[in-house]
Chain A
Amino acid sequence: MIVKTLCAGSGGQGVLTLGNVLGNAAMLQGFHATYLPAYGAAMRGGTANCTITIADEEIASPVASAPDIVVALNQPSAFAFINRLVSGGKLIYNSSIVEEVPERHDVEAFAVPANDLAVELGNARSANMIMLGAFAKLAGVPSREAVFSSLKLLMGRKKAVFEAGCRAVDKGMEYLS
């Protein structure tokens, strides 16, 4: 099993946090994992993306020529990265702000109104964790427990943030079930 995922959005949406929580969760579940951020002159509102690979064998290349899943948190990401998807791949997009998804007949697209769901939960900034929940549901990895352990590891010192994260992940998982 090998799943290559590209998460993209604008700086400040928590795309890199999403990737980091995902990578840690995969490791905690016993998988091989790589997290490769696109780095550079980053700023709030600029673009941000990272590639996460989860596998049950040694990961040859952390670079994804053609990812299996693209998680797009904003409109430019959906435009930019849908073409990179492998044939048969999946696009999960934040339908609260992505208004248009370019047509591609050989991939599946899943709309998750992450911003709206986050507001419903009372924490507008947890849209990234809702997308993570949706991803985990769709990909089948990592498990809900592993994602929670990862959140605990990374955010456990701030109980409120940790709990809000868990609720958001559950919300995302429920939305795609």
Chain B
Amino acid sequence: MDKVFISGNHCIAEAAIRAGCRCYFGYPITPQNELGEYMAAHMRRAGGVFLQSESETAAINMVIGAASVGTRVMTSSSSPGVSLKQEGLSFLAGFEFPAVIVNMMRGGPGLGNIAPAQGDYFQSTRGGGHGDYRTPVLAPASVQELADLTVKAFALADAYRTPVMLVGDGMMGQMKEPVTFPEPIDPETLPAKPWALKGRGDGPSRYQASLILDGLEMERHNWKLVRKYKVLAEQETMYESYMMDDAEFVVVAYGTTARIAKGAIKRARKDGLKVGLIRPITLFPFPDKVLRELARSIRHFLVFEMSTGQMVEDVRLALENCGVEINFHGRPGGVIPTPVEFSRVIHRYYRRM
């Protein structure tokens, strides 16, 4: 298929429909309104349902409903709206229902502003709702990757029976880049979901509940979830290495910040600095193994984020007892940092090496 010059928000919606998503429920909030707009225009033609709900809470509960019958379903919002969805996320995790939740993060806390930010890292990766669960989190850094990872998110959600989050920000959502879309998937051809509540038919009756009163059952359920997250970590961790071949200094950054970091690294490379980038593509599971392997030969790590320091905690956990230096530079939501700013920071820490 030919390339299309398309914005991130529209791209996610198109990729979702192509991935077989047939229900979308959402409530408008900047900077992701164009996603719902695209769904409104195109979902019906695909034979699916677009519904603008009365609130974010309603949308996520509609997601639970659609997921319970085995339909590929998506909702999207931005930070304050995603906070409202957390109860539903916890229920989806408890029910083990597949669904894709998009968070185009904005400045916060509170209503904050609509500028790009990465302040929802903790909320996304730590299981933002109550209970002992995690959510796989995908963090694209280009519009093409938004398409690819949207398709991936639906596949992961189905394969692991879990809600999956796709996180970006206003820059990822508003930016346009050339995209080649994958071929559409006919939802009828997807593997059957024997657990889905589609009527008993000739089989045994079945029910789904997130209330598990029996203590031992509850514990068994939680251990089952833990095993699932372990398999996810072993098989689904994704990251990108950029200019790492001869690197003596590693930058760690994801999403929009990784793009800016790449610009900064290009500049630093021109000045002869041996700098590379590790870009986590999955934030949970976090690519800790590759960082530990690098720490055998590289002593200096620098984390860039558009927050006051959240992913840096995962980097510190990954490199615990490795005896390496981990520095952090963050700009909280409101201002997009520039490659010049980041390259200055790289120079400052590199000189101290």
Contacts and interface: CB of A to CB of B under 8 A. Distances in A.
Interface of A: 20, 23-24, 27, 32-37, 39-40, 60-63, 65-66
B175 A65 contact: no
14 contacts: A23-B176, A27-B5, A34-B176, A35-B5, A39-B31, A60-B262, A60-B265, A61-B260, A61-B263, A61-B338, A61-B339, A62-B175, A65-B263, A65-B341
Interface string B57-97: 00000000000000000000000000000000000000000
Interface string B170-199: 110011111000000000000000000000
B174 A39 contact: yes
Interface string B255-275: 000011011111000000000
B3 interface: yes
B339 A65 contact: yes
A20 B6 CA distance: 9
A113 B264 CA distance: 37
A39 B114 contact: yes
A35 B170 contact: no
Given A36-B171, A61-B259, A62-B177, 17 more contacts: A20-B5, A33-B5, A35-B175, A35-B176, A36-B175, A39-B174, A40-B114, A60-B266, A60-B339, A61-B260, A61-B264, A62-B175, A62-B259, A63-B259, A63-B263, A63-B338, A66-B340
Contact of A32 (B170, B171, B178, B338): B178
A24 B4 CA distance: 8
A26 B266 CA distance: 22
A60 B177 contact: no
Nearest to A32: B178
A60 B259 contact: yes
Given A60-B262, A60-B265, A33 B178 contact: yes
Interface string B2-20: 0101000000000000000
Given A39-B174, A60-B259, A65 B5 contact: no
Contacts of A20: 5, 176
Contact of B263 (A35, A36, A40, A60): A60
B259 A24 contact: no
B178 A27 contact: yes
Contacts of A33: 5, 177-178
A16 to B, nearest CB: 10
Given A20-B176, A60-B339, A39 B262 contact: no
A27 B340 CA distance: 26
Which 9 A-B residue pairings sit nearest by Cβ, starting from the closest? A61-B263, A60-B262, A65-B340, A65-B338, A35-B176, A60-B263, A27-B178, A24-B5, A61-B339
